[in-house]
Structure 1
């Protein structure tokens, strides 16, 4: 399995609007491509910049082929929508991680 991680730096002036858009529009659109099996959306707490906040959306897919299909056929349009809506108020970078093993802990 693969994690497609998108780290986003967002201007605090539009953070509330952007969060709503991510939850109600963007993440559902990405998930509706059928290429990912889950998404974890997180706020980075260890790194803070004046006037902006960092978030991470981690999408999990079954294979590199699914991710490549997403990047070829869906990502350009979805990324363009983000840029049109938030222009110079956000900056995103993307990384790919191979899941080696999942460890789960159960607290009693």
Structure 2
């Protein structure tokens, strides 16, 4: 299992609008590409600053091949949508993780 994690620094001025856009537009559009099995939407609570807060989207996929296909055929589209809607009020960075094991208590 591969986890594609995208973190976003969101200016307070657009935070509510951005959250609505993520839930109503971004996640449904990403679902349509059928490369991910699950998405987790979280807020980072360990770090805040004067200009904004940080959120994380974690997309779960079954293979590196599916993630590479997403990169090659879809990720630019979503980056453009984000920039066209919010400009530089949102900054993001990406991380790829490999799930070793999951424990539930």
* TM class, shorter-length: over 0.9
Consecutive unaligned residues in structure 1, runs of 5 or more = none
Consecutive unaligned residues in structure 2, runs of 5 or more = none
How far apart, CA to CA, are the structure 1 residues paired with 2:21 and 2:90?
Answer: 13
Q: Secondary structure at the match of 1:50?
A: coil
Structure 1 position 63, deviation (Å): 0.3
With normalisation by structure 1, the TM-score equals 0.95
Number of aligned residues? 105
The residue number in structure 2 matching 1:94 is 94
How far apart, CA to CA, are the structure 2 residues paired with 1:101 and 1:73?
Answer: 29
Q: Which runs of 4+ in 1 moved over 2 A?
A: none
Structure 1 position 104, deviation (Å): 1.2
Superposition RMSD in Å: 0.6
For residues 37-76 of structure 1, the aligned pairs below 5 Å read 37-76=37-76
With normalisation by structure 2, the TM-score equals 0.98
